[in-house]
Amino acid sequence: MDRPSEEQTAETVRQLRALTTPEGAAALARAAALLAEGVDAVAALTRLRAEVGTDLAGPAWGIARQRQNARATFGADADRMLFTGDTLEQAGRPELAARRAARLLAGGADSVADLGCAAGTDTIALARAGARVLAVDVDPVARELTAANAEALGVADDVWVVAGDAVELVAAARGGEVAGCGAAVLDPARRAGGRRLLDPDRWSPPWSTVAELLAKVPTSVVKVAPGLDHDRVPDGVEAEWVSVGGSIVEALLWGGAVSATWRRATVVRDGEFHELTADADPGPAPAGPVRAWLHEPDPAVIRSGLVSLVAADLGATLVDPTIAYLTSDGPAVGSPWVSSYRVDEVLPFNLKKLKALLRGHGVGRVVVKKRGSAIEPETLARQLRGPGSGAATVVVTRVDGAPTALVCDVT
């Protein structure tokens, strides 16, 4: 998507403002009711135009749709907040924003600059955690959303929304403060035109501002892409990868005053937080032959470079020096760091032989996992499907350099 023109931006701001009036609130309530009734867009817009006027109908319908999308993440707050599609996509999870805010403020900072506030997820979490927040954004729509959302959620007295360029503010930072605040949150935009920007120098603000903020404002936290190269992490800065339900949802760099370790993997499972840390690079885990159990480390453990800590804990070795699968004699009972599979068969990867072996075990349904192999899991699972009533997990990987299939958890 191209950048909106100044006229489009001004029109969006005008529409958002109209929705914060009593008439706007009534239009939003009506749009939400039509959406809940399952009325399709064309019919809903026709009815809304007749009932609330042409000016409010479209914007109210748009926001009602965004609120519906936001509910899974924002719960009851979603129905009081305003989002555009872009800002909802960029918004972090509020429970993680709250955790970040609490950690950032634990050292006593009471004012925080949120540098790039978008719809205000971080601003609101910081204000709820007790800080006074200077919410900064270059985008007038983001500022409008943050102001409206702070008001709607009852924290407006602690939030100041201002226009500003984070690049300039960080360049002017002095004495451990930025924009007069003793702490900062920076969450650079890492997408443009609907695409991920893989090069941190192209983020907005760019990597140079990230590095400068971490160097100048020790009470700071920066959200970065989970794929960030470890070599970019400055000395004295803790890097943390957070996963929820087995997928990485954010990566953070903590300024010197709030860094507590070298790397941290935070794994959230069933709403519980588990943290694994290392004060220095623990190096790679040793490799060894496949044993009775295979363990797949959580991606936060892998990305944070802490697989060898888990290996030591489980008495496990890598199946291959270049592959993050572990193997040991026993299951990893209760470990939040890995998912474990009982290994029933190990064979060099060969489709025909694998099929025959599964038939022999009466296996008809297969889940395929892979690491270090070019196979396409869904395609292979289809090819391996058979008449048997049993099930199995087939792991395709390299073992000591050789393409190998591990048939696991045969039932």
- CB nearer to ligand SAM: give 137 or 240: 137
Q: Which of positions 199-238 make contact with ligand SAM (CB under 6 A)?
A: 204-205
Residue 221's H or E segment, with its range, is strand 220-224
User: Which C-beta is closer to ligand SAM: that of 56 or that of 91?
Assistant: 91
- Position 127: which residue type? A
Whole-number Cα distances in Å, 48 to 52, 247, 372: 6, 40, 54
Of residues 313-332, which lie at the interface with ligand SAM (CB under 6 A)?
A: none
The closest of 85, 116, 65, 122 to 4, measured between CA atoms, is: 85
The residue among 254 and 337 lying less far from ligand SAM, judged by its C-beta, is 254
> Binding mask 111-150 vs ligand SAM (x if CB under 6 A, - otherwise)?
----xx-xx-xx-------------xxxx--x--------
Options 144, 158, 187, 240; binder of ligand SAM; rule CB under 6 A: 187
Cross-strand pairs, 294: 327, 341
Does 205 sit behind a cis peptide bond, omega within 30 degrees of 0 on the bond before it? yes
- Residue 252 interacts with ligand SAM (CB under 6 A): yes or no: no
Interface with ligand SAM (CB under 6 A), residue total 21
Selection from 306, 339, 178, 314 nearest residue 240 by Cα: 306
* Interface with ligand SAM, residue 165, by CB under 6 A: yes
> By C-alpha distance, which of 83, 97, 402 is closest to 249?
97
Find the binding residues for ligand SAM in span 73-102 (CB under 6 A).
Answer: 90-92
CB of 166 to ligand SAM, least distance (A): 3
Q: Is 167 in the site for ligand SAM (CB under 6 A)?
A: yes
Is 144 or 187 the residue whose CB approaches ligand SAM more closely? 187
Nearer to ligand SAM, 142 or 183 (CB): 142
Distance of CA 89 to the CA centre of its chain: 11
Closest distance to ligand SAM from the beta carbon of 223 (Å) = 7
Nearer to ligand SAM, 93 or 365 (CB): 93
Q: What is the DSSP string of 69-136?
A: HHHHHHGGGGGG----HHHHHH---HHHHHHHHHHHHTTS--EEEEES-TTSHHHHHHHHTT-EEEEE
Do the beta carbons of residue 308 and residue 285 sit within 8 Å? yes
Q: Between 132 and 365, whose beta carbon lies closer to ligand SAM?
A: 132
Residue 392 in contact with residue 361, Cβ under 8 Å?
A: yes
Do residues 396 and 349 make contact, with C-beta atoms less than 8 angstroms apart?
yes
**Of the two residues 101 and 142, which places its CB atom closer to ligand SAM in the complex?**
142
Distance of closest approach, residue 190 Cβ to ligand SAM, in angstroms: 7
β partners of residue 174: 177
Beta bridge partners of 320: 323
Q: Does 197 bind ligand SAM (CB under 6 A)?
A: no
**Sole window of 69-77, 164-172, 315-323, 354-362 interacting with ligand SAM (rule: CB under 6 A):** 164-172
Q: Which residues bind ligand SAM (CB under 6 A)?
A: 90-92, 115-116, 118-119, 121-122, 136-139, 142, 165-167, 187, 189, 204-205
